[in-house]
Amino acid sequence: MTEFRTPEEELGRFRRRVLVAGIVALVCFGLLAARFYYLQVVRHEYFHTRAEDNRIGLVPIVPTRGAILDRNGVTLARNFAAYTLEITPSQVADLDETIDALSEIVTIDARDRRRFRKLLEESRNFESVPIRTRLDDAEVARFVARRYRFPGVEVQARLFRDYPHGEVASHVIGYIGRINLRDQDRIEERGDTANYRGSDHIGKSGLELSYEAQLHGVTGVEQVEVNAGGRAVRVMSRTPATSGSDLELTLDIELQKVAEAAFGDRRGALVAIDPRTGGVLALASKPTFDPNLFVDGISTADWNELNDSPDHPLLNRAIFSAYPPGSTFKPFMALAALTTGKRTANQAIADPGYFSFAGHRFMDDKVGGHGTVDLHKSIVVSCNTYYYQLANDLGIEGIAGFMAPLGFGSRTGIDIPGEAEGVLPSPAWKRSRFKKPEQQRWYGGETISVGIGQGYNAYTPVQLANALATIVNGGKVFRPHVVRHVIDTASGERRAIQPEPIRQLAIKPAHLAAVRQAMVDVNKSGTGARAFTGAPYSAGGKTGTAQVYSLKGSKYVAGRVTERLRDHSWFIAYAPADNPTIALAVLVENGGFGAQSAAPIARQVIDYHLLGARLDAPAREDAEAADTEADPHAEHDAEPSP
């Protein structure tokens, strides 16, 4: 470039360079055109799909959960709308800072923070998590005015579950709670993921759990156009949600209240069944708990109080706890005797006050015995000796073979989850229950204690109530149920849950009549007479006392030990005697004699059921006074003496 050039040469070189520049520009534009062709023609389909994916979002519409009503239409579980303050963690830079700032506007206490942390762990990052629930209007207004300061925080109107009767019937109704990871796994297993997109609560116990499919409803979906910020800007199509069905129960909440109140602060359970249908009229387990505590996530303090209490309020004793039936087993034994032909109704024994077997004496509770005892008297006075002999004659296989069809030792199939099987003892059961060969052997003496409802016998209150219902309805075994109608909220269609007879037992009406007559006389002149004094109807019943063998597994609590050593008190009853509409089993833990604490509860419940009013049953003070008086009719089943 140092050489001299003429202006013409310079111009020529310049023009060549312009040409080079022009060619470079042309090539580069050609490159762009090729790129556009590639993007807009070759890969158009792909990008078209990507653009559609971008713009269309599916928003689930959460269905309204069905309500739960009692047999008279009284609401037991319902929804109400309230505002929650929710944070989407992925959109918030500093959670603690945000929560601190929010707490200056709305009340956020330590409990809210703890619950938020817990829910945060269980949820995915892009889901909103409530920091406060049930905001009042003033709080909503204060937040909305300052919303711009809180990206990723929003007020949402949500439906909450409310149990207006609180602690009453909580073991039946159950509760819902936030869907946790375990629930999510279960939903996935059921292939129900799509239907729960958007739902954040699910039934956790009771009917809320067992009828989850009906109560939940079908999630709807809204196809919306979303912008880059993820906000819906336009609804494109909408499939509305189908609300969950309402449940109408066979349960009578007023009867339930009477039953629960009758327990006072004693522990125990009551199951009342309509023997004509298997419908559950009342099902109580005491102590109980407030299901409302669980809806938003129970606080650790509340949980510990419920879970650590020696009274185990969360335990549904009515269906999960199995107790030896004590003397309430005797009417069933008597029926076994008649059905198998081991005894006739009129056949009588002489009761010396004990029964000798293999060199041991099994004692009656009445010193000197009841004298001449036939089947009727054996039930009315609850004579042990009669049943020691009978058990020995029937043999354990005979007893187990007769009791199994009545539902003893197997789940009744009631529509509340968490039912226990109980134990109907038999040599086969013992072999599978124990490991060591010497423990697996069945001893004849064990049959004799089974005969009076002690020993290995263990049945849940619902089993006993259902077995009683079977012998008072002519031998039909129903699957007990709490729900009577499933009501489609959209169409109003009421789908009845039909009484479900599982089997008809071949028991002669005469035999049933003999046993029932004896049970009616129990309440007239026998062990239940005091509790049913002055009843304007005729009711059958039977007392029972289940022995508490040991305190193993129970915490030592000063001042309660003596009470907890006491026997459990049973009473089974039905009424009216000639056409029963209610059959029930009452258990009072450590209640002592059956006649003393369980029978008055049964009386109050039957009074309310038949007479529609709370009549004052014999006062409890009376019964307690009787304790010291040594009531002549009180029974005490003897422990098999070794």
Partner 1 sequence: MTEQRFSPLRLLVAAIRPIDPILFGLLAVLLGYAFVLMHSASPERIASLLVNAGVALAAMWLAARLSPQRLLSLALPLYAAGVLLLIAVDLFGETSKGATRWLDIGITRIQPSEIMKIAMPLMLAWYFQQREGHIRLREFVVAGALLAVPVALILVQPDLGTSLLVAAAGFYVIFFAGLSWKLIVPVALVGIVGIGAIVGFGDQLCQPGVDWQVLRDYQKHRVCTLLDPTQDPLGRGFHIIQSTIAIGSGGVLGKGWTEGTQTHLAFLPERHTDFIFSVLAEEFGLLGALVLLASYLLLLLRGFVIAAQAPSLATRLLAGSITMIFFTYAFVNMGMVSGILPVVGVPLPFISYGGTALVTLCLGIGILMSIQRSRTLAKS
Binding-site residues for Zn(2+), in ranges, read 351, 364, 370, 383
Does 50 engage in binding with partner 1 (CB under 8 A)? yes
Least Å from the CB of residue 123 to partner 1 = 20
Can you say whether residue 382 is alpha, beta or left, with left for phi > 0 and alpha for psi between -120 and 50 degrees?
Answer: left
Which position among 8, 41, 110, 491 is part of the footprint of partner 1 (CB under 8 A)? 41
Binding mask 413-432 for partner 1 (x = CB under 8 A): --------------------
Is residue 44 within the footprint of partner 1 (CB under 8 A)? yes
Any contact of residue 225 with partner 1 (CB under 8 A)?
yes
Using the contact rule CB under 8 A, the part of the chain among 35-43, 481-489, 512-520, 624-632 near partner 1 is 35-43
| Closest residue by Cα to residue 128 from 156, 88, 157 | 88
Q: State which of residues 81, 93, 110, 228 lies at the interface with partner 1 (CB under 8 A).
A: 228
Stretch that binds partner 1, among 44-52, 183-191, 343-351, 604-612 (CB under 8 A): 44-52
State yes or no: residue 10 binds partner 1 (CB under 8 A): yes
Confirm or reject binding of residue 25 to partner 1 (CB under 8 A).
yes
Kindly tell me which of 41 and 358 has the beta carbon lying closer to partner 1: 41
Considering only residues 1, 157, 613, 630, which one is a binding residue for partner 1 as defined by CB under 8 A? 1
Minimum distance, C-beta of residue 116 to partner 1, in the bound complex (Å): 25
**Opening angle at CA 359, ends 355 and 365, nearest 5:** 30
Q: Is 525 a catalytic residue?
A: no
Shortest Cβ 226–partner 1 spacing (Å): 7
Mark 51-90 with x for binding to partner 1 (rule: CB under 8 A) and - for no binding: xx-xx-----------------------------------
Q: Which helix (DSSP H) or strand (DSSP E) does residue 302 occupy?
A: helix 300-308
- The least CB distance from residue 203 to partner 1, in Å, is 37
Per CB under 8 A, the segment of 11-19, 172-180, 348-356, 449-457 that binds partner 1 is 11-19
In sequence order, what are the residues at sequence separation of 6 or more whose Cβ sits closer than 8 angstroms to the Cβ of residue 463?
322, 407, 408, 409, 412, 422
CA–CA separation, 499 vs 480, rounded Å?
Answer: 8
The least CB distance from residue 233 to partner 1, in Å, is 7
- Locate the DSSP E strands across 320-432: 349-351, 354-357, 360-363, 371-373
Closest distance between partner 1 and the C-beta of residue 93, in Å? 14
Of 10-18, 400-408, 416-424, 606-614, the segment contacting partner 1 by CB under 8 A is 10-18
Backbone φ/ψ region at 574: left (φ over 0), alpha (ψ -120 to 50), beta:
beta
Cα distances from 450 to residues 142, 424, 596, 616, 640, in angstroms, run: 69, 9, 23, 36, 10
CB of 146 to partner 1, least distance (A): 24
Contact, 56 vs 236, CB < 8 A? yes
Say how many residues make up the chain: 642
Encoded amino acid at 48, one letter: H
Which DSSP letter does residue 195 get? G
Closer by beta carbon to partner 1, 229 or else 559: 229
Q: Which of 73, 229, 341, 553 binds partner 1 (CB under 8 A)?
A: 229
Say whether residue 126 binds partner 1 (CB under 8 A): no
By CB under 8 A, residue 26 contacts partner 1: yes
- Among 47-55, 344-352, 428-436, 590-598, which window interacts with partner 1 (CB under 8 A)? 47-55
Q: What whole-number distance in Å separates Cα of residue 134 and Cα of residue 465?
A: 42
Site membership for partner 1, residue 301 (CB under 8 A): no
Closer residue to partner 1 (CB): 36 or 549: 36
Which C-beta is closer to partner 1: that of 40 or that of 239?
40
The answer to whether residues 216 and 195 touch, using CB atoms and an 8 Å cutoff, is yes
Find residue 59's DSSP bridge partners. 222
Cβ nearer to partner 1, comparing 90 with 440: 90
The one catalytic residue in 327, 378, 382, 449 is 327
Least distance CB 242 / partner 1 (angstroms): 30
Contact in structure between 635 and 527 (CB atoms under 8 Å): yes
Q: What is the DSSP string of 121-142?
A: HHS-TTS-EEEEEEE-HHHHHH
* Site residues (CB under 8 A) for partner 1, limited to 335-394: none
Looking at residue 617, what DSSP letter applies?
P
The 3-state secondary structure of 216-266, one letter per residue: HCECEEEEEEECCCCCEEEEEEEECCECCCEEEECCCHHHHHHHHHHHCCC
By CB under 8 A, the count of residues binding partner 1 is 40
Should residue 506 be labelled a site residue for partner 1 when binding is judged by CB under 8 A?
Answer: no
Angstrom distances, CA of residue 414 to CA of 128, 273, 463, 539: 38, 11, 10, 25
CA distance 90 to 419: 42
Taking the complex as a whole, the smallest distance from the CB of residue 32 to partner 1 amounts, in Å, to 5
Residue with smaller CB distance to partner 1, 20 or 181:
20
Q: Which is nearer to partner 1, 37 or 549 (CB)?
A: 37
CB 521 within 8 A of CB 543: no
CB 66 within 8 A of CB 245: yes
Rounded alpha-carbon distances, angstroms, from residue 384 to 275, 328, 375, 635, 640: 28, 12, 12, 9, 11
Terminal alpha carbon distance of the chain:
127
The DSSP result for 437-455, as a single string, is HHHHSPPHHHHHHHHTT-T
* Amino acid found at 503: R
Annotated binding residues: 351, 364, 370, 383
Per CB under 8 A, the list member of 8, 32, 148, 552 interacting with partner 1 is: 32
Q: Does 23 bind partner 1 (CB under 8 A)?
A: no
The tokens describing 586, both together, are: 């009452």
Please identify, among the stretches 49-57, 259-267, 318-326, 631-639, the one whose residues bind partner 1 according to the rule CB under 8 A.
Answer: 49-57
Instruction: Please provide the DSSP assignment of 68-83 as one string.
Output: EE-TTS-EEEEEEEEE
Residue span binding partner 1 (CB under 8 A) among the ranges 209-217, 226-234, 303-311, 474-482: 226-234
SS3 content of the chain, % helix, strand, coil (to 5): 40, 20, 35
Stretch that binds partner 1, among 225-233, 498-506, 603-611, 625-633 (CB under 8 A): 225-233
- Give the residue, chosen from 92, 108, 221, 226, that forms a contact with partner 1 under the rule CB under 8 A: 226
Among 48, 111, 146, 508, interactor with partner 1 by CB under 8 A: 48
Contacts of 334 (CB under 8 A, 6+ apart): 343, 375, 378, 379, 390, 514, 515, 518
Based on the shown chain and the rule CB under 8 A, indicate whether residue 561 belongs to the binding site for partner 1.
no
Residues that bind partner 1 (CB under 8 A): 1-2, 10-11, 13-15, 17-18, 21-22, 25-26, 28-29, 31-33, 35-37, 39-41, 43-44, 46-48, 50-52, 54-55, 225-229, 233
Active site residues: 327
